[in-house]
C-alpha cells in the first residue's frame, strides 16, 4: 500500500471478485461473524387481478414465474488497511473489492468494472489518503443522498453489522460522507442508536481514507432478491422503536409527491397528480400524505398500518418495507424491480400502471385509465355490458305466413272411442 503522502494510482484495475477465494490466498480480509446462512429466494405474488394490462408484459411474467435462485449468506467482514474512495468503494492492497456481497451490481455497471473501470472510478482512487486508526463501519454509499437507497442498502448494512458485532463489544465508529443530510443523521442518532460521537466523516471529492480496521457488512440483496432474514431484522427494529399507535391512521394512503425533487435523484413531476389524488380520494377513500414532511417513526407507523398504498415509483413507495404481508401496493410508473423485490420479501400484492408515460421530467397519466386501474386494485370488476334484446323479426309481405284453415272439431263420441272410455 502507498504511504499517506502518495496518491493511490491504479494503472489497471485489479479486483477481488470472490471474498472466500481472497481469504484462502492470504488477503487481509476476515469473516467476523455470520448473521444468516445462504437462503433460497422467496416467490413473488402475481399482480393484482385485472391489472396486468396496465403495464409492460415482462413485469407480469416476472411475477408469475417460479424463481429458484439463492441469496448469499449474510455476514460481517473485517479488512485490514482498506482504502475507501468515492461512494464507498473498498480497495485492499491495491485491488478493488468487487465481490457481490460487498459491491452492488448497479455500482459495478456504473463504474464499468467489467471494462477495466472508468475515469470517475480511477480519479477517486488517485486522491490523497488520510488514515483513521479506530475501527470503522463503512456506511458510505448512495444511501447518503437518496432515501430509497438508505432504506434498501445503508439501513441493512447497519443492522447486519449491529447483529454481527453485538457479542464482540467492539468499540467502532461509523464512516459517513461529509455531505450526509440532516434527515439521515437524525435517523442514525434517534432511531438506530448511533450517537454523533461515533460518527466519522470524509470528503470523497478531495480525499480517500485508509481504515486500519474496516468493518464490511454484506449487502442484503443481490440481483433482484432480498435475503429472507431481512424480515427478522425489520421486525426487531420495529420492536425496539417506540412507534405511535395506529388506530387513528388511514388504511388507504396515496403518497403525494407534488413538486418535491431531490437533486441527487432523477427529476420527475406528475403534472396532473392532483387529479389522480382526487380520483383516489373520491372513488376509493384514499388519504393523501407527504412523507418527506414526517418524522421517520411516524412514517413507519403510517405504513405499518396501511392496507393499500398508492404512489409514484421511487423512494416514498419503498416505505412499504414496513407494511404488513397482504398489503396491496400500486405503483404509478415502473423504473426497476426494486418495488417487486420489496413486495416479494414482505408478501405484498403488487400492481403497476405504466402504459403511455415514462417517469422522466414532466409527465401526465391518463386519468380515465388511472380510474379503471384503481378500480381493479380495489377489487371492482369491469362492468359487463348487458346482452342487447333481440330485435323483433319483421317478415316481408312476400314471405308472410298464411294461417292454416281451422280444423273441424271431432265428431261426438270420438275421444270415447279412441281411449275406450
Per residue in 158-178, pLDDT (tens digit) is 999 999 999 888 999 999 999
The reply to whether 126 and 274 lie within a common domain is: no
Which strand (E) or helix (H) includes residue 388? none
Residue 225 lies in a domain: yes
The reply to whether 112 and 214 lie within a common domain is: yes
Among 25, 22, 85, 31, CA closest to 218: 31
Q: What is the pLDDT of residue 143?
A: 66
Domain edge (last residue) among 193, 215, 240: 240
Distance (Å, whole) CA 165 – CA 77: 10
Residue that the C-alpha cell 443523521 belongs to: 185
Is the CB of residue 79 less than 8 Å from the CB of residue 29?
A: yes
The reply to whether 296 and 187 lie within a common domain is: no
The reply to whether 260 and 141 lie within a common domain is: no
Residue 97 lies in a domain: yes
Residue 233 lies in a domain: yes
Q: Over its length of 421 residues, how does the chain's per-residue pLDDT go in tens digits? A: 443 433 344 458 999 999 999 999 999 999 999 999 999 888 999 999 999 999 999 999 999 998 888 899 999 999 999 999 999 999 999 999 999 999 999 999 999 999 999 999 999 999 999 999 999 999 988 767 889 999 999 999 999 999 999 988 899 999 999 999 999 999 999 999 999 999 999 999 999 999 999 999 999 998 789 999 999 999 999 999 988 777 789 999 999 987 655 655 677 899 999 999 999 999 999 999 999 899 999 999 999 999 999 999 999 999 999 999 999 999 999 989 999 999 999 999 999 999 999 998 999 999 999 999 999 999 986 554 455 565 554 433 333 343 444 444 444 443 343 334 4
The reply to whether 80 and 156 lie within a common domain is: yes
Residue 309 lies in a domain: yes
Residue 65 lies in a domain: no
The reply to whether 188 and 317 lie within a common domain is: no
DSSP for 41-110, please give it. PPPPPPPPTT-GGGS-HHHHHHHHS----EEPPEEEEEEEEEEEETTTEEEETTEEE--TTTS-HHHHHH
Domain edge (last residue) among 192, 212, 240: 240
> Is residue 15 classed as helix, strand or coil in its secondary structure?
strand
Cell of 235: 421486525
Residue 396 lies in a domain: no
Distance (Å, whole) CA 355 – CA 274: 19
368 to 49, 133, 272, 371, 372: CA distances (angstroms)? 19, 61, 12, 5, 6
Residue that the C-alpha cell 348487458 belongs to: 386
The reply to whether 19 and 139 lie within a common domain is: yes
Domain count, the chain: 2
The reply to whether 232 and 260 lie within a common domain is: no
Residue 179 lies in a domain: yes
The reply to whether 260 and 231 lie within a common domain is: no
The reply to whether 133 and 257 lie within a common domain is: no
CATH of the domain at 296: 3.40.50
C-alpha neighbours within 13 Å on the C-beta side of residue 135: 12
Residue that the C-alpha cell 370488476 belongs to: 381
Domain that holds residue 333: 252-377
The reply to whether 149 and 266 lie within a common domain is: no
| Rounded to 5°, angle at Cα 221 from 217 and 222 | 110
Residue 138 lies in a domain: yes
Distance (Å, whole) CA 255 – CA 277: 9
The reply to whether 229 and 260 lie within a common domain is: no
Amino acid at each position: 500500500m502507498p504511504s499517506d503522502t502518495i496518491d493511490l494510482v491504479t494503472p489497471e484495475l485489479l479486483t477481488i471478485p470472490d471474498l472466500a477465494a481472497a481469504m484462502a490466498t492470504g488477503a487481509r480480509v476476515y469473516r467476523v461473524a455470520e448473521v444468516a446462512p445462504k437462503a433460497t429466494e422467496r416467490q413473488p405474488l402475481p399482480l393484482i387481478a385485472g391489472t396486468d394490462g396496465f403495464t409492460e408484459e415482462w413485469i407480469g411474467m416476472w411475477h408469475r414465474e417460479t424463481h429458484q435462485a439463492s441469496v448469499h449468506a449474510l455476514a460481517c467482514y473485517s479488512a485490514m488497511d482498506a482504502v475507501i474512495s468515492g461512494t464507498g468503494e473498498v480497495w485492499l492492497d491495491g485491488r478493488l473489492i468487487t465481490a457481490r456481497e460487498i459491491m452492488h451490481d448497479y455500482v459495478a455497471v456504473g463504474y464499468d468494472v467489467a471494462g477495466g473501470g472508468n475515469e470517475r472510478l480511477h480519479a477517486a482512487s488517485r486522491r490523497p489518503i488520510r488514515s483513521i486508526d479506530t475501527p470503522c463501519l463503512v456506511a458510505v454509499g448512495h444511501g447518503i443522498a437518496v432515501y430509497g437507497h438508505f432504506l434498501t442498502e445503508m439501513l441493512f448494512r447497519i443492522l447486519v453489522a449491529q447483529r454481527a458485532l453485538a457479542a464482540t463489544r467492539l468499540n467502532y465508529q461509523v464512516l459517513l460522507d461529509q455531505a450526509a443530510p440532516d434527515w439521515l443523521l437524525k435517523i442514525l442518532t434517534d432511531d438506530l442508536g448511533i450517537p454523533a460521537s461515533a460518527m466519522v466523516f470524509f470528503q470523497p471529492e478531495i480525499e480517500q481514507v485508509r481504515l486500519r480496521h474496516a468493518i464490511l457488512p454484506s449487502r442484503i440483496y443481490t440481483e433482484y432478491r432480498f435475503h429472507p432474514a431481512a424480515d427478522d431484522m425489520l421486525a426487531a427494529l420495529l420492536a425496539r422503536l417506540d412507534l405511535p399507535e395506529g388506530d387513528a391512521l388511514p388504511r388507504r394512503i396515496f403518497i403525494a409527491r407534488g413538486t418535491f425533487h431531490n437533486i441527487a435523484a432523477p427529476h420527475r413531476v406528475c403534472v396532473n397528480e392532483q387529479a389522480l389524488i382526487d380520483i383516489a380520494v373520491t372513488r376509493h377513500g384514499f388519504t393523501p400524505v407527504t412523507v418527506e414532511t414526517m418524522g421517520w417513526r411516524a412514517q413507519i407507523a403510517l405504513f405499518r398500518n396501511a392496507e393499500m398504498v398508492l404512489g409514484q415509483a421511487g423512494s416514498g413507495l419503498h416505505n412499504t418495507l414496513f407494511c404488513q404481508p397482504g398489503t396491496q401496493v400500486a405503483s404509478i410508473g415502473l423504473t426497476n424491480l426494486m418495488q417487486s423485490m420489496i413486495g416479494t420479501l414482505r408478501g405484498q400484492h403488487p400492481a403497476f400502471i405504466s402504459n403511455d408515460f415514462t417517469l422522466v421530467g414532466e409527465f401526465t397519466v391518463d386519468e380515465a385509465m388511472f380510474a379503471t386501474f384503481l378500480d381493479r386494485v380495489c377489487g371492482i370488476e369491469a362492468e359487463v355490458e348487458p346482452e342487447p334484446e333481440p330485435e323483433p323479426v319483421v317478415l316481408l309481405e312476400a314471405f308472410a305466413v298464411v294461417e292454416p284453415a281451422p280444423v273441424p272439431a271431432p265428431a261426438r263420441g270420438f275421444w270415447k272411442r279412441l281411449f275406450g272410455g
